Structure 1
Amino acid sequence: MKVELYDTTLRDGAQSEYISFTVKDKLRIAKKLDELGIHYIEGGFPGSNPKDAEFFSRVKEIEFDNSKIVAFGSTRHAKVKAEDDMNLRSLVDSGTDYVTIFGKSWDMHVRDALKILPEENLSMITDSIEYLREHGIKVFFDAEHFFDGYINNKEYAMKTLRAAEEAKASCLILCDTNGGALPFNILEVLNEVKGKIKTALGIHAHNDSDAGVANSVIAVRAGATQVHGTINGYGERCGNANLCSVIPNIKLKLHINCISDNQLKKLTEVSKLVAELANMSHLHNMPYVGRSAFAHKGGVHIDAVLKNPLTYEHIKPELVGNERRFLISDLSGKSNILAKAKELGLKLGKGSPEVKVILDQLKEMEKQGYQFEGAEASFELLLMRTLGLVKKFFVLDGFRIIVDTHYEELTSEGTIKVRVGNRYEHTAAEGNGPVNALDNALRKALEKFYPSLRDVYLTDYKVRVLDTTEGTGAKVRVLIESTDGKDSWSTVGVSENIIEASLKALIDSIEYKLHRTRGQ
């Protein structure tokens, strides 16, 4: 059985709240989807906006190895001939060999939304497909709201499919446009429809009942040969079926080779890139591609995974380009410590006295409010310091923060004094707030000794109040993420004083970088 993957991230995904791709973004994503092995990439609606029109113009310059670009649009308007319909003409002018058009298959929509007779809607479907085919275009027909339409008026929903089939559409896609169907609905309807239609069937599932992925997979199991979805499940309202789950489910669970093994290994990379270009956080708990998808925290779990990963992992993470991670927390046992040490290339045995020292220190620090799950660089330093493997690159001799008002604007200045060997450096810097000023001053003082710090900057800064009942006197935990343009790392600091907590996290960040670059 051959299953074709149809990505609509650039059109349906872009209809998601908070997401707006530039033309450059869309072209870059399209090339990545091609590398992933996606068969069809829906580029957008050329008749709706200049941005999509520009995309179709520029995408012709790109060579694709695996993917076909598809233009998207609707059937002709009521009371307008197909050859006179601006939407259909824009689809032809897009220059693509494939076009997907959507048409109504729920009689309620025909009656209440379009306000036309049912027969007119059938003519619109037939005329539109025939017009596009006359121009040498292969047509996919999206039967919009098909499952709702079929449940409410089976006879009319089937008439819309037959109209598209008689016009020789290449594939009829059954759409759960409202996203309310459940897997048993999909299975029942598909089993009935496939016996009445000879044309290939597809599935286009939305996620409003959190069943988009399940509905897509069950549709394939029932005989659908084209699957629509978006990367990371982006889409209108609650999103579309997430291809980052659909693809590995089809390939690894249904054992249908929709893409190659090497292409599947690119899945996590593509997921992260699309999230970055969408300016959205990459959800850590996404199946298959999330950072936490193969992360283990409980000591019993880690001990078992070290013996046999299948004990707590349903697939090998490397199959989808992800990686196994062992988390450090107050639930940690010796297995966690040993696993993390092994990950860092350190030789520690279960009987090593250092393991107990590290474990005791870890539990004491977490009692104070530290949390190392999201601050792995700080934990690595804790491990290395206990083993005596971290050089003391500098000593902080003191710091001061001045916050002043200048022309009705708040200004912050950080003054810092550090010692490197026998040499002292006393310097100051301004910043957007006291923490930024302190960060600037610390790096300014140390850059003279360690030039590699010029490339380091903060990319994220989070503050968590640990005990809200203490009010302004409560302890806070500061988590910062830093990068040098190549690698990223996270560190943590805890104190009743937010400046001190921030400084602890900043110092760990700098020491981690210097440890990694051997003090350059």
Structure 2
Amino acid sequence: MDSSNKKIFLYDTTLRDGTQSEDVNFTVIDKLRIAERLIEFGIDCIEGGWPGSNPRDMEFFNALKKSKSVCIDKISAFGSTRRAKKTCENDEIIQALLDADVPNITIFGKTWDLHVREALKISLDENIEIIYDTVRYLKSKVDRVYYDAEHFFDGYNANPEYALKTLLAARDAGADCVILCETNGGAMPDKVAEIVSIVKNRLNDYPFGIHAHNDCEMAVANSIMAVKGGASHVQGTINGYGERCGNANLCSIIPNLQLKYGYDCVTSDNLTKLKSLSDFLDEIGNLKHNTHRPYVGKSAFAHKGGVHVSAILKNSKTYEHIAPELVGNTQRVLLSDLSGKSNLIYKAKEFGLDIESQSDTIQKVLLQLKELENRGFQYEGAEASFELLIRRAMNTLPEFFDILSYRVIDEKNKSLSVAPMAEATVRVAVNGEVEHTAAGGNGPVNALDKAIRKALVYFYPQLKDMVLVDYKVRILSSHNGTQATTRVLVVSQDSFSTWSTVGVAENIIDASYHALLDSIIYKLLKDKK
């Protein structure tokens, strides 16, 4: 580790670049909540958007003025350099940046001579003048100005001397930092390192940064290479949100720089909130969590193979590159037909069960697990069902009730004015007392769930506190058509916790029945414990 302890300035572009992702859409309220959370985490500057480019971004900057929870000193407005035929004073784009009324402004300008000649259709010298004039004007109006050198690496490859001149123009005009933008996402780390070294010498140690895109899966690597080469300012988004393949992922860059190279990014305490920040952004964006993200993904420190689990039980360093707690994550051991004795002992301890000395029970559970997963059961996402499996093998699971029979009717009337009706009837025995009842529902599974609980709530009133919050169905053998084996995963919740159970059968109602039954039994067991 390089113990440089050099402070890295973290510049987040989630609220602008992130929203350019085709599956991300934040409201103004969302953006305010995200900004507040990013500031709490320790981000140095947050790009709020491009005022004047769309109503929502301007609404965000207006809302900022009324906000008591977001520190406006940490917010930057984003825009372009002035247009060729206008002065800064009469250019609406520049004036909209000032109307945002924030102390930081970031502007981008053309670096690639191809863009200057063919997009702007002006001379190379005129472009240099525009960059200088815009930065100087804005610096006279606000506290800090950051200059994004758009397409810098492509521009450098095409015309190195001109690309460097654009940086020097922004520097000489007073920019607080010039940022090398790898806009097309096509550069390789070794080339980035080579160019950054040259830039550092030409800027004469003037502050510079990196802004990378991920089209070649190199955005994180390129950002780190730039920092190693002298960049002190890093731009990126949480979870790597962004246009096309996304932007550089700060959730990987920050721990890589801090834990692997010794740079100072955020406090150690804040770093432990990295996973929750990542999850928060996914939830706000209504996006599915990517379980395989480095550092913050649910699977980042998950172990499945028996040999691996046996080793981490002795020393977690054997298969974990850092302690997961450093970034707010946790070590997990998964159960599957690949599992060995070590996995089973580990999971049993999580459930408060000691089976290490019960070799017969261990062997029994492992054989059952292999057989059940061969039939289609999966316990990696249904740990409540797995705990019940172990307890049944140990003969320590109380018999709370016995379902004597159940029947489900799903009726559809030909009349369009009559809604389809589902009804379930169950007979339940508890300590020799039989309860026979029925319930209607929104579909057969809902009706069955309501009927079972209706029959049991007389004996176990705590079931009133339990709700089903998710229900997933997967067809396991689609080649069998309507006779295919079906796996049902049920997620249930009460006032204190959430748990998942699984059922598998060729009949979807029967698969649902077993998952629902495990869910209720787990609830009663949990309350008894």
Q: Same fold (TM over 0.5)?
A: yes
The 2-side partners of 1:277 and 1:81 are apart by: 40
- 1:145 is matched with 151
The 1-side partners of 2:90 and 2:57 are apart by: 21
- 1:503 is matched with 513
State the shift of 1:280 in Å.
Answer: 0.5
- 1:424 is matched with 435
- 1:171 is matched with 177
The 2-side partners of 1:306 and 1:404 are apart by: 55
- 1:325 is matched with 332
Listed one character per residue, the Cα deviations across residues 478-498 of structure 1 (whole Å, up to 9, x for unaligned) are 223233365332221110111
Preserved contact between residue 411 and residue 430 of structure 1 (Cα < 8 Å): no
The 1-side partners of 2:459 and 2:203 are apart by: 74
State the shift of 1:168 in Å.
Answer: 0.7
- Give the aligned CA root-mean-square deviation in angstroms: 2.0
Pairwise mapping of residues 385-464 of structure 1 onto structure 2 (< 5 A)? 385-396=392-403, 397-405=405-413, 407-408=415-416, 411-417=420-426, 418-421=428-431, 422-431=433-442, 433-464=443-474
Residue type of the alignment partner of 1:494: V
- 1:234 is matched with 241
State the shift of 1:458 in Å.
Answer: 3.5
State the shift of 1:369 in Å.
Answer: 1.5
Structure 1 residues 450 and 106: alpha-carbon distance in aligned structure 2, compared to 1, 3 A threshold = farther
The 1-side partners of 2:161 and 2:409 are apart by: 75
Preserved contact between residue 412 and residue 437 of structure 1 (Cα < 8 Å): no
Secondary structure of the corresponding residue to residue 289 of structure 2 = coil
Structure 1 residues 52 and 491: alpha-carbon distance in aligned structure 2, compared to 1, 3 A threshold = same
| Alignment of 1:493 onto 2:503 | yes
Preserved contact between residue 414 and residue 430 of structure 1 (Cα < 8 Å): yes
The 2-side partners of 1:518 and 1:180 are apart by: 58
Q: 1:38 pairs with 30, 37, 43, which one?
A: 43
Pairwise mapping of residues 470-481 of structure 1 onto structure 2 (< 5 A)? 470-481=480-491
Q: 2:193 pairs with 187, 198, 202, which one?
A: 187
Listed one character per residue, the Cα deviations across residues 337-359 of structure 1 (whole Å, up to 9, x for unaligned) are 10001122222224543212211
The 2-side partners of 1:72 and 1:377 are apart by: 49
Aligned length: 518
The 1-side partners of 2:28 and 2:215 are apart by: 28
Q: 2:522 pairs with 491, 498, 512, which one?
A: 512
The 1-side partners of 2:250 and 2:419 are apart by: 48
Preserved contact between residue 39 and residue 66 of structure 1 (Cα < 8 Å): no
- 1:7 is matched with 12
Pairwise mapping of residues 31-180 of structure 1 onto structure 2 (< 5 A)? 31-60=36-65, 61-63=67-69, 68-180=74-186
Identity of aligned residues (%): 53
Query: After alignment, is 349-358 or 256-265 more displaced?
Result: 349-358
- 2:3 is matched with none
Preserved contact between residue 500 and residue 519 of structure 2 (Cα < 8 Å): yes
- 2:279 is matched with 272
The 1-side partners of 2:27 and 2:256 are apart by: 31
Preserved contact between residue 435 and residue 455 of structure 2 (Cα < 8 Å): no
Structure 1 residues 122 and 441: alpha-carbon distance in aligned structure 2, compared to 1, 3 A threshold = farther
Unaligned runs of 5+ in 1: none
Residue type of the alignment partner of 1:189: I
The 2-side partners of 1:454 and 1:130 are apart by: 67
Residue type of the alignment partner of 2:486: V
Preserved contact between residue 401 and residue 434 of structure 1 (Cα < 8 Å): yes
Structure 1 residues 117 and 437: alpha-carbon distance in aligned structure 2, compared to 1, 3 A threshold = farther
Structure 1 residues 317 and 111: alpha-carbon distance in aligned structure 2, compared to 1, 3 A threshold = same
Pairwise mapping of residues 327-342 of structure 1 onto structure 2 (< 5 A)? 327-342=334-349
Listed one character per residue, the Cα deviations across residues 286-324 of structure 1 (whole Å, up to 9, x for unaligned) are 000000000000000000000000100000000000000
Residue type of the alignment partner of 2:7: K
Structure 1 residues 220 and 348: alpha-carbon distance in aligned structure 2, compared to 1, 3 A threshold = same
Structure 1 residues 139 and 425: alpha-carbon distance in aligned structure 2, compared to 1, 3 A threshold = farther
Structure 1 residues 448 and 312: alpha-carbon distance in aligned structure 2, compared to 1, 3 A threshold = same
Residue type of the alignment partner of 2:517: I
State the shift of 1:82 in Å.
Answer: 0.6
The TM-score, its normalising length taken from structure 2, stands at 0.93
Secondary structure of the corresponding residue to residue 82 of structure 1 = coil
The 2-side partners of 1:382 and 1:416 are apart by: 27
The 1-side partners of 2:39 and 2:346 are apart by: 37
| Alignment of 1:19 onto 2:40 | no
